[in-house]
């Protein structure tokens, strides 16, 4: 009986410690998944930022519009390299998308841009890139939602708080920022 009195608490402590570390490791894996999927969003966004200046330069528009559009693109590029969260990035993406709508609307009015093969290629590449961004955003949001659910559930929420796991903001771009050809928008800079 004396051995059980000593071994019982030791076994209980080992089991509880094992469970704590198992939960912590599971949360860490989920957080790493969120980080990895966010970096994939960044790769897709940087690809987009590389395409947009060519589109802007191919459009015959007033130099003031062109300058404002390029400024929006440069701000978006800078944000991709700066550490920012999904909320900040969504605001930047909304401004860039609205600017792109303007570029496409101007291009549709320009006979030169409509007949420019390079502009058509860039526009096709942009559409493919927008699809990659949408897929990456969906993958990130799914990973972030699963992680957020995990750290909010009991008893994981107690351990998450103790180990410093915090909620992750979703990358939500408003529907009005979805690129559509032929719909001019006011530029927000």
Q: Which residues contact 123 (CB under 8 A, 6 or more apart)?
A: 55, 104, 107
pTM: 0.80
Q: How far apart are the first and last CA of the chain?
A: 77
Cα angle for residues 151, 85, 154 (degrees, 5° grid): 5
**Host H or E run for residue 74:** helix 63-81
In this prediction, residue 110 carries a pLDDT of 76
Which pLDDT score is estimated for 181?
45
Residue predicted with more confidence, 134 or 73 = 134
Can you read off the two tokens belonging to residue 48?
């987009």
Q: Is the pLDDT of residue 112 over 50?
A: yes
Is 90 exceeded by the pLDDT of residue 151?
yes
- The highest-confidence range among 2-11, 35-44, 104-113, by mean pLDDT, is 35-44
Would you say how long the chain is, in residues? 189
The residue-averaged pLDDT of 87-116 equals 82
* Sequence-distant (≥ 6) Cβ neighbours of residue 145 within 8 angstroms: 170
Give the pLDDT confidence score for residue 133 in this predicted structure.
94
**Architecture of the domain delimited by 2-177:** Up-down Bundle (1.20)
């Amino acid at each position: 009986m004396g051995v059980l009195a000593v071994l019982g608490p030791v076994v209980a402590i080992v089991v509880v410690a094992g469970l704590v570390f198992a939960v912590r490791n599971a949360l860490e894996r989920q957080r790493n998944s969120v980080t990895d999927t966010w970096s994939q969003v960044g790769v897709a966004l940087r690809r987009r930022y590389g395409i947009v200046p060519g589109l802007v330069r191919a459009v015959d528009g007033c130099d003031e519009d062109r300058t404002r559009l390029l400024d929006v693109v440069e701000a978006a590029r800078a944000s991709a390299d700066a550490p920012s969260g999904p909320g900040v990035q969504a605001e930047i993406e909304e401004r860039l998308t609205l600017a792109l709508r303007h570029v496409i609307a101007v291009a549709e009015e320009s006979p030169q841009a409509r007949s420019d093969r390079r502009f058509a290629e860039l526009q096709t590449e942009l559409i493919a890139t927008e699809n990659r961004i949408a897929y990456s955003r969906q993958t990130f949001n799914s990973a972030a939602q699963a992680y957020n659910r995990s750290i909010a559930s009991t008893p994981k929420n107690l351990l998450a708080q103790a180990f410093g796991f915090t909620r992750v903001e979703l990358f939500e771009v408003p529907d009005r920022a979805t690129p559509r050809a032929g719909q001019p928008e006011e530029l927000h800079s």
